[in-house]
Amino acid sequence: QKEVEQDPGPLSVPEGAIVSLNCTYSNSAFQYFMWYRQYSRKGPELLMYTYSSGNKEDGRFTAQVDKSSKYISLFIRDSQPSDSATYLCAPGSGGSYIPTFGRGTSLIVHP
Amino acid sequence: GAVVSQHPSRVICKSGTSVKIECRSLDFQATTMFWYRQFPKQSLMLMATSNEGSKATYEQGVEKDKFLINHASLTLSTLTVTSAHPEDSSFYICSALMGQAVHFGNGTRLTVT
């Protein structure tokens, strides 16, 4: 089992839809959780950073962490075509600051 | 805005030559930088951790003599792909630790002909 699992997609949704992107992990030592957005041929861009279970909201984005089930989600409200990208979840353990990346989920938001 | 700058964005070189990729932290000092490799539709693969003023720590399976990393200052780390071969063609991305979060450069597309 890989340490971080993500469905590669692609996930195709109409503009305005609520998007749910999910990630599971196996290492119970992970303490902080990041989501990155990567456009084609670009480096990943940090979207969200959370350190505990629960929800964290930033604009149209909400990150949700459930440590008991080792399940991470990213919700995007009112999705836009510009949100079309690959979303990588990246949990990490305290002390190393080296996140472990999932393979990413490709999202396509069509007008 | 961007906090990590990577250069060049694209490079094409002939087999057997060496290529240097630069990674700079903008407006902050990065004692730790990371180098990743990414194949199409695949996840980021950590190659090495670069620490300012000391030798890089390479991940298992990464040839340190082929992928030379130098982190001579608090704002600059370089990756040199030596004696490049077509199988080294890939997308190389650097990142830097700022606080507790890792920020990435925009990557370098290396094509070895």
Q: What is the mean pLDDT of residues A40-59?
A: 90
Measured between CA atoms, the residue of chain B closest to residue A105 is B41
Compute the mean pLDDT over every residue in chain B, rounded to the nearest whole number: 92
Q: What is the mean pLDDT of residues B61-69?
A: 95
Confidence of residue A95 (pLDDT cuts 50, 70, 90): low
Residue A67 half-sphere exposure toward CB, CA atoms < 13 A: 14
Q: Which residues of B touch A41 (CB under 8 A)?
A: 91, 107, 109
Give the A:B interface size as CB pairs under 8 Å.
Answer: 47
Query: Under an 8 Å CB criterion, which residues of A touch B?
Result: 8, 32, 34, 36, 41-46, 49, 88, 90, 97-99, 101-104
Confidence of residue B1 (pLDDT cuts 50, 70, 90): low
User: Distance from CA of residue B13 to its chain's centroid?
Assistant: 17
Q: What is the mean pLDDT of residues A67-96?
A: 92
Q: What is the mean pLDDT of residues B52-74?
A: 92
Contact A43 B106 (CB under 8 A): yes
Compute the mean pLDDT over every residue in chain A, rounded to the nearest whole number: 92
Tell me: pLDDT of A97 over 70: no
Q: Give the pLDDT score at B53.
A: 85
Tell me: pLDDT of B24 over 90: yes
Three-state helix/strand/coil letters over B57-112: EECCCCCCCCEEEEEEECCEEEEEECCCCHHHCEEEEEEEEECCEEEECCCEEEEE
